[in-house]
Structure 1
Amino acid sequence: MNQIHYVETNATHESDFVFDIPQGHQCWLLVITKTPALFRVNGELKEYPAHHVILYEARQPIYYRACGNVYINDWLRFSSDEIYISRTSLPYGIPFALDDPDYCSKLFELLVVEHNFNRNCQESSIDSLLRILFNKLQESYWQGDLRPQYYNLQRLRTAIQTNPGDPWTVSRMAQSLQLSPGYLQSIYKKTFGISCMEDVINSRIRLAKEYLYQNTLSVAEVAFRCGYRNIEHFCRQFKRVTGYSPGRYQLYKNDSGVLLPNTRLDRPGR
C-alpha cells in the first residue's frame, strides 16, 4: 500500500533555498530537479544539472540547495510497503539523470490531482501512477550517461510521433535545435538507433494504417492527412514499410486490423 503525505510539482524557490534534514524523514522522499542544484553525496557537496532525480529512504540524511537565481523541482514524500519501491535497485541519496523529464512531470501532475481529490479509485490510481513513475526511473538509471543534446532530441522525437503529418524536413528539425543538418542526423541516429526522417516515415505510416483500418477516407485523403502532398510518393513509402499497397492493405484485413493469413496480395488482376 502507498500513502502520499505530500506531492508538489514545479515547486519554485529563491536562490537562498536550502533543504537540510540531518535525521531524514520517517518515510521516502523523491525529488526531481528542473534547474541545477547542489546535493550532498557521501559527505561532499556536488552540483548536478537540471533533470536529475534522487531518492531518499527513511531516516537518510537529506541536504540539497539552490545554486542559481531560482530552484525548481517536483517532489514527493510518501510511505510504501510495495516491493517495487522497497526493493528497488535505484540508488539511495545519489542523483542520476532522468531521460524523459516531461513524461515524469506529467505523472507528478496526475499524482497531485489524485492525492488532492478523494475519488473512488484513488488508492489504485496512485499505485498505478507510482508504478509507471518507478518504471521510468529504472529506465533512466540503467540508461546511463545522456548526450548533452538528449532532452532537445527527446522533445523533437515526441513532436514527430505526436504530429507526424506536419511538414517535417531535416533542415526544419535542425533549425529548431540550432544544429547543422548533418550533425542532427548523426546524433539522432546514435541516440535512438534510427534516422530522424525514418522516424517521420514510420510515424506517418503508423498513422496511415490506422486511417486505412477505419476505412472512412480515400487513400488520397489518408496521404494528405499523414503529411504527403504526392499520393504516388505515399504509396511507394507505404509499400516499402509494410509490404502492401495502401489500397490492398485497406481491402485485405480482418475486423481486428490484421491482414488475413495466406492472402496473396500480388495476384495478377487483383
Structure 2
Amino acid sequence: MFQGSIVAIVTPFKDGKVDEDAFRRLIEFQIENGTSAIVPCGTTGESATLNVEEHNRVIDITIEAVNKRVPVIAGTGGNSTMEAVELTAHAKRAGADASLQVTPYYNKPTQEGLYRHYKTIAEAVSLPMILYNVPGRTSVNLLPETVARLAEFPEVVAIKEASGNLAQMAEIVELVGDRITLLSGDDNVTLPLLALGGKGVISVAANIAPKDTAGLIKAWETGDIPGAQALFYKLLPLCKAMFYETNPIPVKTALAMMGMIEEEFRLPLCPMAPANREKLKKALESYGLI
C-alpha cells in the first residue's frame, strides 16, 4: 500500500496563512501525474512552523481533496511523544491512511528512548506508521537494530530512510526482510535503494516533476532497468537543485517560478540567495519546467 512515488508535499502560504486553494491544486497536479501517495506536514511541508490548528487543517484538506484516490500519510511526528500521539489521533479521526513519524529532534533520545517513543504512539493510536530517520536534521540516528525491534509492532509498516547511508539501509533489509517496507528519503539515492530491496521514495523532487519520479519507480517495478536508470539520471540534476539551500526553500521557489504557488516562507526560512536562485532557474529551464 505504501510504495511507489510518494510526494512530501509543500504547504503553500499566502499573506501569512495557508493557501488552501493553491494546496488543493497541488494535490490534483500530483494525482494527475501518477503519484502513489501524499504526505502532508512533513519536513517539506514546513511542519515545524505550523501551529497545531494549521497542522490539523492541512491534514484535513489533504484527506478531503484526495478523497481516497491515493493513500494519505499524515506527518504527525514531534519531539514530544504526547504531542505526536495527539496529532496522530487527529489524523486517524480525520481518515488518514497512515502517519509519518520523524525521530524526535533536538532532545537527542537514546535508542531505548526512540523505541519507547514509537512504542507509545503505536499503542496509543492504531494506525499504520512509517518511521522517518533523518539524522542530518534531528541529530539522532535510528539504528537498524532498533528498527528491527519496532518491526514487531503491527502498526509499523515502513521506514523512510534519509540517513544517506546505503550500508545502513541494506542492514535494515537484512534484519527485517519484508516485514516492513524500505522507502528512500533522499531523491538522489532512490535507484540504489531500489536495488537494495526498497519499494519507493518519499520525494521532494516529485513536487515539481511528479510524472518522471513516478515513472522511475514504475520502470523499476516492471523490470525496465535501463528505463529506470535513464529517468534517475535525468532527474538527478533537479534533485541536486532541490538542495542548493535548505529544503523546502528551493522546491517552493521552483513551484513559484512554475506559477503554481506564491513564493512565501515562514521564518526562520527565507527567500533564496540571488546566486542560488539563478542556478535553480537554470536547472528548471534545462529540465523544461519553465
Q: TM-score when scaled to structure 1? A: 0.30
Structure of larger gyration radius = 1
**Greater fraction strand:** 1
